[in-house]
Amino acid sequence: MRIEDVPYEVDGTQYVGRLALDEYRSGPRPAVLVCHEGPGLDEHAKGRAVRLAGLGFVAFALDYQGGGEPPPLEDGMARLGELMGDADTTRRLGRAGLDVLLAQPEVDRSRVAAIGYCFGGSMSLELARDGADLRAVVGFHAGLGSARPATAGAVTASVLVCSGAADPIAPAEARDAFQREMADAGVADWRMEVYGGVGHSFTNPRVDELGMPGFAFDATADRRSWRSMLDLFGETLAPFD
């Protein structure tokens, strides 16, 4: 397994993402961009990239907070607040990470997906709305709204959203609005899974340390959502093992 940190620059700021791939595999292979949770690029997102590499993908966990690791929580939340209202910058940061992934010689550029967690899930959805050349996009416990909703024909990726029914970040009204957005934009292939009794950040075993109401790890939802992602990849990116 080859695991390395890759620095890159966006608008004069340095970012450092984590690249992972299995060096024993040969030839071009499908690739997955991984977008981290709001506080920063942590072991959760890095670990998902390594896990994907073990399945045969080239994986790159981008960095949208800067520096390649989570900043102090207050600073990270302030930066996150800025991004949440700025779809253009969010898309630009997502595309910068995607460019790093696509620059890897092992990548089959015709078989690329983006996934994300929390605001990273929102970022992956913004890439889909922006018409990025992706075969699949997955948002895990993502924020679902956008200042720039999808327009007709813009989204070409197959879209999967995995949400908890008790997620305060994506309540029923937000889920309903997202479904209307997908329908109004004529998105050909999208689906949503909602897990009963599950809150926000359900894929991250360490989220309980925050003690935030409505935020909780759920091993069953984590396992089911990962399996659903792999099912989608089997339809859109195969073969990858």
pLDDT tens digit sequence for 65-119: 999 999 998 999 999 999 999 999 999 999 999 999 999 999 999 999 999 999 9
pLDDT tens digits for range 120-134:
999 999 999 999 999
Side chain identity, residue 203: T
What pairs with residue 34 in β-bridges? 61, 115
Give the pLDDT band of residue 24 (cuts 50, 70, 90): confident
Question: What is d(CA 35, CA 64) in angstroms, rounded to the nearest whole number?
Answer: 8
ω into residue 239 within 30 of 0, thus cis?
A: yes
> For residue 241, is pLDDT > 80?
no
Question: What is d(CA 209, CA 215) in angstroms, rounded to the nearest whole number?
Answer: 10
Domain-by-domain residue ranges, the chain?
2-236
Phi, psi of 48, deg, nearest 5: -65, -35
pLDDT at 239: 84
Of 230, 191, 235, nearest in space to 57 by CA: 230
Give the β-pairing of 13-21 and 58-61: antiparallel
pTM: 0.97
> For residue 147, is pLDDT > 80?
yes
Q: Residue range 184-200: average pLDDT?
A: 98
Superfamily of domain 2-236: Alpha/Beta hydrolase fold, catalytic domain (3.40.50.1820)
If 0-12 CB within 10 Å is exposed, 13-18 middle and 19+ buried, where does residue 233 land? buried
Contact between 36 and 123 under an 8 Å Cβ cutoff? The reply is: no
Question: What is d(CA 116, CA 47) in angstroms, rounded to the nearest whole number?
Answer: 13
Question: What is d(CA 30, CA 111) in angstroms, rounded to the nearest whole number?
Answer: 5
3-state secondary structure of 102: helix
Give the pLDDT band of residue 40 (cuts 50, 70, 90): very high
pLDDT at 27: 85
> For residue 240, is pLDDT > 80?
no
For 68, residues 6+ apart whose C-beta sits below 8 A from its C-beta are: 5, 7, 15, 16, 17, 18, 41
